[in-house]
Amino acid sequence: MAFKVQVGPPQIAIHQGQAVLVSEPDGQFMFPSDRGLFFYDTRVLTVWNIQANGVEWDLLNGGALTYDCARIFLTNRAFVTEDGQIEARSLSLVITRQMGGGMHEDIDITNFGLRPVRFNIEITIRADFADIFEVKQGSMVRRGRITTEWSSGRQRLATLYRNRDFVRSIAITADKSGSDGVYANGRLSFEVQIEPGKTWHTCLLYDLDNGERTFRAPEKCPDETESTHEAAERRDWRRRVLKLKSASDDFNHYYEQAIDDMAALRLPLPGTDHMVFVPAAGLPWFVAPFGRDSLIVSLQNILVYPEFARGALDVLGQWQAKERDDYRDAEPGKILHELRYGELAHFKLIPHTPYYGTADATPLYLVTLHAAWRATGDDSLLEQHMDHAEGCLGWIDNWGDRDGDGFQEYQTRSPAGYENMAWKDAGDAVRNPDGTLAKGPKALCELQGYVYAAWLGMAEIFDHLQDKERAAALRAKAKSLFDRFNEAFWDEESGFYAYLLDGDKKKVLTVASNPGHCLTAGIVPADRAERVVRRLLQPDMDSGWGIRTLSAAHPAFNPYSYQNGSVWPHDNSIIALGFKRYGFHAEAAHIAKSICDASSHFHMSQVPELYAGVQRADGGFPVQYLGANVPQAWAAGSAFLLVQALLGITLDAPRDRLFVDPWLPEWLPELELTDLRLGRHKLGLRFWREGGATDFKVTHGEKGLVQRRSMADEREMVRDGKADA
C-alpha cells in the first residue's frame, strides 16, 4: 500500500458552477481565515460555527462524497442543560451539504442516550463579502455596506452587500425544521427536543445572488442525491466521456480520478448564443475563465471530451481584444489571460476585466481550433471562429512580435501587469544561468513553437477551405520560423535549446523544461530531437517523479519553489507527447510511469497542480508543494495526454480516419478504450503488448476508420501539407 500524501492543509472543498465552499474538516470556518463560501469571486459566507448550548462539537470524520457534496460526522462533548447533564458522545450531529446553484445543507441530530434531551443549537453565520483577491492576500478594505434582515414568518435570513452598482447577497432559509429558528446576535438558533433514538432535522437553503440573477439552492436533501439534477449531470458526464480500463490498477485510479476532477471543474458560462462548459483552472482560487489554462486543458481533453474545446473557443473568442489597452495588456486580436467578477474587477481596481497578460493563449487558440476541427470534423467550428482566428493571426504578426525580428516576445505595459506571460508566469521563473532574473522583452522558446504549430494547423484549415494561396503562405512562414528558430535558439555545445532570447537578443542557456514543448510543437529537426530528449532525462532534470521545471544544477534551483525546480504533471504530459511525436516511445512511457507512480501516493490518486522536485528514492514518496491547487484542471488532464502519448492517437475526423502508433511498456501490458469519439463515430479499441511490440484491435465501430501510422510520419505530413495522404 503506497503512502498517501495529503496536499495542503486539511480542509473540505466542494464546488459547482461559480460557487465554492472551503471549510475545515469539521465543516466549520472562522474569521480570520481564507475559508468560506465563495460566489462569483466574492466571499459571501465568512463564519459558520455550530454549538450546543454554547459548547463545541467533536469531529469524528468528514469529507467530500463527490465534487459537489460533503458529509461531516460529529459528536457532542458533555454539557449541562436545564434538565441536567447530557453525557459526552450520546448525540450524533451529521452535516450534509450539496452544491447546485446555491447550497442545500442538512443538519441531523440523533439522540443515542436513554432519556429525552432539550437544548439549543446555535449556528453563527457572518459574511464579509471580501473580494477573492483580498481573501488570498489576507487583507481587505470594506468599500460598501452590509445589511441583514430576518423574517421569522418565512424563517429566512437575508444578507446583502452593496457598493454603488456592485451587489452580492446570500439568503438562508430554514426548511423542514423540527422547530422554528430565531435569529439574534449573529446567530441562528433552534430549541431542540429529541426523544431517545429519534432525530431532529432541519434543512438550510442558501440562495446566492450576483446582482443579476439568483441561484437557488437544490430543493431536495442530499440523501436524495441520486434523484437530483446534479446526480443526473454526473451520470451524463460519465456516459459521454472516454472510458479506460488497463492492466495497471494505479493507472486506472489515476485516470478515473482525473475524470472526476474534470467533472468538478466544468464551468458553465454564457457562450455566443448558449451556455457552454469551459474548464475552470482549479480549486479553490481559480474558478474563472483562463485563456492559457482553458486551451491547454481543452487540448488534453480532445480524446476524452472535445466539447471543452468548443466551449473554450466560444467564450475566449467572445472576449477577444478589439483595441489596445495598456492597463489590461490588451491588443487587437489577443486572447485573454483571466476574467474575474469580483468587486475589485468591477471597479477596475485590478486589470482582470479581463486581463490579457499572456503571450501564449493567442497562438494556442489557433492550435485548439485546429485540434477541435480534427477531432469533430465539424466545419461549423471554422465558420463560427474564422474571424477570431484571423484576429489571432494578425496579433501574432503585429503585436506578438514586438520588434519585428520574427520571434514572439512579451513585456507588460501595465503598472499592474505580470512580469512573465508564458505558462511559467511566476515573477521569478525566468532566470539567467547565474541565477539572476532575465530581462525583457523575453522571447521564450516554446512561444515560437506554439506559433509554428498554429501556422501549420491553420494552413491545413485553409487547404480544407480551398484557400491554397493562404495555406502556402502560412507554410512558408512556418518554414522560415523553423529555420530562424533553430539558428537563434540552438546551442550546439550543450545539445539543447536556449530557454529564451532576452531583451538584448542574447541566448539564455538556462536548462529548463520548456524545450520539451518545442518537441510537441514540431519545431525541432529530427536530427536534434534525440539530444533534447536525452538532456531532459538527465538526473538534474528527471526527478524520478517527473521532469523538473528547472535543472537541479542551476543556482536558483529549489525543489520547493513554484516554478524553479518543482514538477508539474501537465508540463510532463506535454513533454511526453513531444517525445512520442519524434518516435521516442519508451521515453514517453517513462514519463507516464513517473507521473502515474506519483499519483498513486496522493490521496484518492488525485495529482495536484504541482509537487516538489525532490529526487525519488527507494521507498520514498512525492512531496507536496504548499499551496498547490487540487483538483486542478491541467494536472488532471495530464492523464489524458499521457494516454494519447502511449497509444499515439491522432484524430482526423474531416477525413474519417483515426491513426494509432501504440507502444505499451511492461508495466502497462494491456489497455482498452471505450466510446472514443471521431466526429460522428464512436469506437472501441483494445491494445496489448506482445513481445516488444504492441498490437491493437477495433472492438466496436467501423474497423476501416483506424489505421496504424507513426506520429513522426504524421508530424511531417502536416508540416509538408500532405495530411490528405
Q: Is the pLDDT of residue 1 over 60?
A: no
Domain that holds residue 462: 401-524
Q: How many domains does the chain have?
A: 3
The answer as to whether 625 is a domain residue is: no
Tens digit of each residue's pLDDT (9 = 90 or more) over 686-701: 999 998 899 999 999 9
Distance from the Cα of residue 531 to its chain's centroid: 32
Instruction: Identify the CATH number of the domain in which residue 134 sits.
Output: 2.70.98.40
How much is the mean pLDDT over the chain?
A: 95
pLDDT of 139: 85
Q: Quick check: 33 and 11 in contact, CB under 8 A?
A: no
Domain boundary among 480, 506, 524: 524
> Closest Cα to residue 282, out of 271, 295, 269, 267?
267
The whole-number average pLDDT for the span 40-51 is: 97
Q: If pLDDT is split at 50, 70 and 90, which confidence band does 236 have?
A: confident
Q: Is the pLDDT of residue 291 over 90?
A: yes
Q: Is the pLDDT of residue 229 over 80?
A: no
pLDDT of 10: 87
Please, which residues have CB within 8 angstroms of residue 645's CB and are 6 or more apart in sequence?
573, 576, 577, 579, 580, 588, 589, 591, 592
Q: Quick check: 296 and 33 in contact, CB under 8 A?
A: no
Q: Is the pLDDT of residue 555 over 80?
A: yes
Q: Is residue 506 located within the same domain as residue 655?
A: no
Domain boundary among 478, 493, 524: 524
Q: Which residue has the cell 457572518?
A: 126
Please, which residues have CB within 8 angstroms of residue 222's CB and are 6 or more apart in sequence?
69, 71, 96, 97, 98, 104, 106
Distance CA 204, CA 192 (A): 16
Distance CA 569, CA 150 (A): 49
Q: If pLDDT is split at 50, 70 and 90, which confidence band does 276 have?
A: confident
Tens digit of each residue's pLDDT (9 = 90 or more) over 353-394: 999 999 999 999 999 999 999 999 999 999 999 999 999 999
The answer as to whether 343 is a domain residue is: no
Q: Is the pLDDT of residue 106 over 60?
A: yes
> Closest Cα to residue 277, out of 303, 304, 299, 298?
298
Angle at 151 between CA 161 and CA 50, to 5 degrees: 75
Q: Quick check: 148 and 158 in contact, CB under 8 A?
A: yes
Q: If pLDDT is split at 50, 70 and 90, which confidence band does 225 have?
A: low
The whole-number average pLDDT for the span 113-135 is: 95
DSSP character string of 629-683: -SSBHHHHTHHHHHHHHHHT-EEEGGGTEEEE-----TT--EEEEEEEEETTEEE
Q: If pLDDT is split at 50, 70 and 90, which confidence band does 234 have?
A: confident
Domain boundary among 524, 555, 583: 524
Q: If pLDDT is split at 50, 70 and 90, which confidence band does 272 have?
A: low
pLDDT of 138: 86
Q: Is the pLDDT of residue 228 over 80?
A: no
653 sits in the region (left: phi over 0; alpha: psi -120 to 50; else beta) called alpha
The answer as to whether 393 is a domain residue is: no
